[in-house]
Amino acid sequence: MSAASSRTYTIIAGTYNASLLKLTFDPSTSSLSLSETISTSTSAGGPFDAVNPSWLEPHPTQNDLAYAADQSPEGRVVLFRTSPSGNVSLVASAPTGGFRPAHACTTADGRWVVLPHFNDGRVVALKVDPNKGAAAFDASSRFEIVYTGSGPMPLQAVAHPHMAVEHPTSGNVFVIDLGSDRIHELRLNASDTWEPVQSIVVQPAGSGPRHMRFSQDGLSAYLLCELTSTIHTFRVAAPSRGSSTPTLFEPVSVRSFLPPGAADAAEDKKLAGGEILLPKDGRQVIVSNRNDGNSGGDAIAVFPLDPPNSPELNTDPGFYRTGGLHLRGVELDLFEQKYLLAANMLSSSLTMFERDLNDAAGALKVVAKADVPKGVQVTTLLWVRP
C-alpha cells in the first residue's frame, strides 16, 4: 500500500449554515464521514463569527492557515488556524466593507488577500501579516474598486465579481465578473498599491464568466462560464512583474461541458457551471455542472490536455456522476491530487472520487460517499495540510 493510500485525510467544509464541517476520509477502508460540526458563532461556542463561511482558501505559504470569506450582508474575512486533526482556531477577523464576499484570493507571497463581492460589484484587497495575530489585517492598506456593467441575461442586471485569481508569473490579479461578461485586471504598482489595468470582454454576451484557472507556467488560461456551461481557453502573454503593460489573452477554444442529454435542461437556465480545476500536472482540466436533472446526479466533466497545459481542447470530455444535486464545491487533495471531493449542496451529500493518475484521460471512480444533516448546504472544501 502506498503512503498516499495509507494516509487518513481531514477536510474542512464551509457552508451557508453558520458552520464548518470536519470530515474524515480513509482510503484504506473507502470511508468518508462527518466527524464534527463546528459552529461559526462565538455565542454558540464557535471559534469565530461567520454567517456564511462559503469560501475557504488555504494560505499559500503557511500550511496551518486558511481564510474564510463570510458571504454575509456585512461582509467579513477570517484568518484561521487548523491543526493536523482539523481543530479550528481564530487568528484574526476583519470587515471587508462590502456586501457578500464570494471568494478569497491570496497572493503567492501571502501578503494580500483579494475579495470579490458578488452583490455590489466591489473588490477589496487587504494586506495581511499573520505574525501580528489579531491585528493581522492592515486596514490602512485597504484597496477598493467598484465595477459596474451588465449583460443580457436576468442574472446580469449589475456587475457580479465572482472570483479573483493571481497570474503565476506576473503577479497581476484577475477578477472574473459574471454580471458584465468581463475579466478585470489589477496590478500592484511600485508604491505597493493596487490599480486597474484593463477589462477584457468575454464573448458571446450572456456567457456569465464565473471562475478561471491559469496553467502553472502562466501561458494558458481556462475560463468557466456559468450561464452557458462552456469553457473558454486562451493563450496568455503576460507582462513582467511590476509592468503596467496589459496581459494579452488570445482566444483558442470554446467547448460545452453539458453532459449528454442535458441540452434541453439548459433552456430553463437552472443548469449552470460550477467549478473549474487544473491539476498541477496540467494533463486535464476538470469542470462541474449543476442541476441537469439526471437521476444519477450532477456531472463532472474531465477534458484531457495534450500536451499538458495546452489551451487546445481537441478531445471530448469524460463525464462522471456524483449522485447528488447542485454540485457546488469541488477540490483536489493537496498531496498527490489523487482524490477529488465534490459537495452536492442541495442534497446535503458529498462524493469522493479517485483519479487514475496513469490515465491521460483522467478517469474518475467513486470511492466513498457521505451525507451531512439535511438542510446543511456545503459550498466549499479545504483539505487540511499536516
253 and 223 Cβ atoms separated by less than 8 Å: no
- Find the domain containing 302 and state its range: 3-383
Residue 80 CB coordination number (10 Å): 25
Please give the model's pTM, rounded to 2 decimal places. Answer: 0.96
For residue range 222-256, what is the model confidence (pLDDT) as tens digits?
999 999 999 999 999 999 998 999 999 999 999 99
Taking the alpha carbons of 384, 166, 54, 302 in that order, is the dihedral positive or negative?
Answer: negative
183 and 209 Cβ atoms separated by less than 8 Å: yes
Question: Which pLDDT score is estimated for 5?
Answer: 60
First to last CA, the chain: 20
Q: Which residue is listed with cell 505574525? A: 131
Question: Which pLDDT score is estimated for 336?
Answer: 94
d(CA 51, CA 34): 21
E-state strands within 257-317: 272-277, 284-290, 299-304
Q: Considering the chain, what is the average pLDDT of its residues?
A: 95
d(CA 36, CA 321): 27
Q: Which amino acid is at 1?
A: M
For residue range 45-55, what is the model confidence (pLDDT) as tens digits?
999 999 999 99
Q: Which residues pair with 234 in a beta bridge?
A: 221, 251
Instruction: Give the whole-number percent of the chain exceeding pLDDT 70.
Output: 97
34 and 15 Cβ atoms separated by less than 8 Å: no
Distances (CA, A) of 7 to 29, 287, 370: 11, 27, 19
d(CA 372, CA 13): 11
Alpha-carbon Rg for the chain, nearest whole angstrom, is 20
Above 60 in pLDDT, residue 98?
yes
Tell which phi-psi region holds residue 345, choosing left (phi > 0), alpha (psi between -120 and 50) or beta: alpha
Question: Which pLDDT score is estimated for 2?
Answer: 44
Q: In what order do the strands lie in the sheet with 284-290?
A: 272-277, 284-290, 299-304, 318-321
82's enclosing H/E stretch is strand 76-82
Cell numbers of 1, please? 500500500
Question: Which pLDDT score is estimated for 295?
Answer: 87
Q: In what order do the strands lie in the sheet with 76-82?
A: 53-58, 65-70, 76-82, 88-95
Question: Which pLDDT score is estimated for 377?
Answer: 97
Question: Which pLDDT score is estimated for 6?
Answer: 74
Q: In what order do the strands lie in the sheet with 209-214?
A: 209-214, 220-225, 230-237, 248-256
Nearest to 90 by CA among 129, 127, 134: 134
pLDDT bracket for residue 263 (50, 70, 90) = low
Q: Which residues neighbour 255 within 8 Å (Cβ) at sequence distance 6 or greater?
A: 230, 231, 303, 313, 317
Residue 366 sits at φ, ψ, to 5 deg, of -70, 125
pLDDT bracket for residue 355 (50, 70, 90) = very high
Cell numbers of 273, please? 457551471
Torsion angle in degrees (nearest 10) through CA of 294, 34, 278, 253: 20
- Provide the domain count of the chain: 1
pLDDT bracket for residue 1 (50, 70, 90) = very low
Distances (CA, A) of 193 to 147, 180, 187: 18, 25, 8
pLDDT bracket for residue 294 (50, 70, 90) = confident
For residue range 171-230, what is the model confidence (pLDDT) as tens digits?
999 999 999 999 999 999 999 999 999 999 999 999 999 999 999 999 999 999 999 999
Q: Domain containing 210 — which CATH number?
A: 2.130.10.10
12 and 86 Cβ atoms separated by less than 8 Å: yes
